[in-house]
Amino acid sequence: MGNIAHAVALQANLTTRSIFSVGQELRKNIAAAIAAVVVGLYILMAVFAPALAPYPPNETALAERLQPPGAEHWLGTDGLGRDIFSRCLYGARVSILVGFLAVTLCVVFGVSLGLMAGFYRGRLDSIFSRFSELLMAFPYLISAIAMMAFLGPGFFNLVWALALRGWVEFFRLSRGDTLAQQTREYVDAARSLGLSGWQIMLNEILPNIVPSIIVLATLRVGFMIVLEASLSFLGVGIPPSIPAWGSMISEGRGVLFIAWWVSTLPGIILMVLVLAINLLGEGLREVLDPRLKVQT
């Protein structure tokens, strides 16, 4: 019993990390630290877009259409004379919110089902696993387009369309980690103390798989933002009345050779955000996964 107690204490020591300690370790990775600052700046710009935008995002001025970047319009104007910088600020609100909401839904559904399938196994595991494999057979973009055709255009419909396929990755991750954690001594100790299955899953297993979930969630936010932009580019995502980076890139295709900034600048803004999120996710993976630490 002393060995079990020691194992439980050791496991808790290895998996319980404060946000401060993770931040301290993340600072050692220069690329990840810079990426975190960039992501933070994007979030701040999205939150304070109404105060930062010099013009209303949908205000048209045909006399000023297709103006190049300059002092009056920092990123130029589009074919309707709308200020691209203002529209990019409001587009950040859409992309970041869609990414975070979609990933949140994926985490809630995927991790819940993965915990139950990995812990109880049997028929429940078989049903969830076969269903997830069926969804994995369809390309993500094609399934998202099909869901949007069924649900119709709209902000929340887009979030649901992305989440209805995205939970599979979190299900597979949490199921595999739960199967691995069930062999640990701290789970046997919890069973010997008479804890119920739900108590073991939520209080013992879940805290030990959270680091892997955080890393995957961070990486999937960038993927969801790209998907949202792709659907908006194709005209089946965010409605045209709402500024979105994907639709802005699409609108500039016809004038790409005479007004390159209409498509190029929103595309660069999108690329920088997704790259920063991916670098941040890789940095978190190095911090939270002890198997990646270099042994000295």
Segment 143-173, tens digit of pLDDT: 999 999 888 888 899 999 999 889 999 999 9
Q: What is the pLDDT of residue 152?
A: 84
Q: What is the pLDDT of residue 16?
A: 44
The pLDDT-based confidence of 221 (bands split at 50, 70, 90) is very high
pLDDT digits (tens, 9 = 90+) for 95-134: 999 999 999 999 999 999 999 999 888 888 899 999 999 9
**CA 97 to CA 179: how far, in whole Å?**
33
Bridge partners of residue 77, in order along the sequence: 83
**CA 80 to CA 96: how far, in whole Å?**
25
Q: What is the pLDDT of residue 3?
A: 41
Helix (H) or strand (E) holding 263: helix 261-288
Residues in the chain, overall count: 296
Question: 77 φ, ψ to 5°?
Answer: -125, 160
For the chain, the average pLDDT equals 86
pLDDT digits (tens, 9 = 90+) for 45-94: 999 999 999 999 999 998 999 999 999 999 999 999 999 999 999 999 99
> In the CATH hierarchy, which fold is given to the domain comprising 2-292?
MetI-like fold (1.10.3720)
Token code pair at residue 213:
């979930």
Averaged over 246-267, what is the pLDDT?
92
Helix (H) or strand (E) holding 207: helix 206-234
Q: Does the pTM of the predicted model rise above 0.75?
A: yes
CB contact set of 124 (below 8 Å; sequence gap of 6+): 116, 117
CB contact set of 246 (below 8 Å; sequence gap of 6+): 228, 229, 230, 231, 232, 233, 234, 237, 238, 270
**Cα 24-25-27 angle, rounded to 5 deg:** 70
The yes-or-no verdict on residue 17 having pLDDT over 50 is no
The pLDDT-based confidence of 220 (bands split at 50, 70, 90) is very high
Q: What is the pLDDT of residue 291?
A: 56
The pLDDT-based confidence of 293 (bands split at 50, 70, 90) is low
The pLDDT-based confidence of 223 (bands split at 50, 70, 90) is very high
**CA 164 to CA 286: how far, in whole Å?**
29
Helix (H, G, I), strand (E, B) or coil at 152: coil
The pLDDT-based confidence of 286 (bands split at 50, 70, 90) is confident
**CA 185 to CA 171: how far, in whole Å?**
24
The pLDDT-based confidence of 20 (bands split at 50, 70, 90) is low
| % of the chain at pLDDT higher than 70 | 90
pLDDT digits (tens, 9 = 90+) for 25-52: 777 788 889 999 999 999 999 999 999 9
Q: CA separation (Å) from 207 to 16, 172, 199?
A: 8, 17, 12
Q: What is the pLDDT of residue 14?
A: 43
The pLDDT-based confidence of 192 (bands split at 50, 70, 90) is confident
CB contact set of 172 (below 8 Å; sequence gap of 6+): 114, 132
The yes-or-no verdict on residue 2 having pLDDT over 80 is no
Helix (H) or strand (E) holding 94: helix 84-120
Averaged over 244-272, what is the pLDDT?
93
